[in-house]
């Protein structure tokens, strides 16, 4: 059997794909098409957990013999969820609200198929105090448009961030340490464990 068929990433995110590939993991990609609308009163940790589990289980119906990994990330400013901005104007508005403040990034990770397990990872991010010109310039780069919270810490948006407390890769969209621990718990062979069993 093709070894990539044993591990499926249930995400269309190029950032998650790149993060996993950097570790030498072999996998196929099969995005899940689900409704990602938050439920009324749903808090950030519950929201990302629910979506990650739904994505993993949806894709696992097509790949029942694989380990199917899914993730979902959102930015929370207090009790408010900041998803992907619709346009540059909304990106500017989000960035202005994050400026000089601490926010949280939550990622739900879930495995389905051969085994089931899930968890939520939280990272605190502190933004610099941004000038209107900095906000306008960054919003106009187009980079914020497909990013929760309207920024990419691994890209041009790195200049916005003063500090983080927690997993850096969680802010990109996949907490690598916690994801590898999850895959280990469910028994998936990893590059450094293959041949030792």
| Separation CA 9–CA 71 (nearest Å) | 9
Dihedral sign (CA 29, 35, 169, 140): positive
Could you say which DSSP state residue 162 is in? E
* Residue 191: both structure tokens together: 């590059």
Active site residue 46: no
Judge whether 7 and 115 are in contact, CB under 8 Å.
no
Of the candidates 72, 117, 133, 165, the residue annotated as catalytic is 72
- Cβ–Cβ contacts within 10 Å for residue 66, how many? 24
Judge whether 95 and 85 are in contact, CB under 8 Å.
no
DSSP β-bridge partners for residue 121? 107
Indicate which residues carry an active-site annotation.
72
């Amino acid at each position: 059997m093709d070894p990539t068929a044993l591990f499926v990433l249930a995400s269309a995110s190029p950032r998650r794909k790149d993060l996993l590939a950097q570790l030498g993991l072999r996998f196929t990609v099969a995005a899940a098409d689900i409704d990602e609308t938050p439920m009324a009163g749903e808090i950030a940790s519950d929201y990302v957990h629910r979506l990650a589990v739904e994505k993993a289980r949806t894709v696992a119906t097509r790949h029942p013999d694989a380990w199917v990994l899914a993730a979902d990330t959102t930015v929370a400013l207090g009790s408010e969820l900041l998803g992907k901005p619709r346009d540059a104007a909304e990106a500017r508005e989000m960035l202005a609200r994050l400026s000089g403040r601490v926010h949280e990034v939550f990622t739900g990770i879930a495995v389905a198929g051969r085994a089931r397990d899930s968890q939520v990872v939280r990272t605190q991010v502190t933004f610099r105090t941004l000038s209107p010109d900095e906000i306008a310039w960054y919003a106009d780069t187009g980079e914020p448009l497909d990013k929760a919270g309207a920024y990419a810490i691994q890209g041009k948006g790195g200049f916005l961030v003063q500090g983080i407390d927690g997993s850096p890769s969680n802010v990109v969209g996949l907490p690598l340490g916690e994801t590898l621990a999850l895959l280990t718990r469910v028994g998936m062979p990893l590059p450094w464990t293959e041949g030792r069993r």
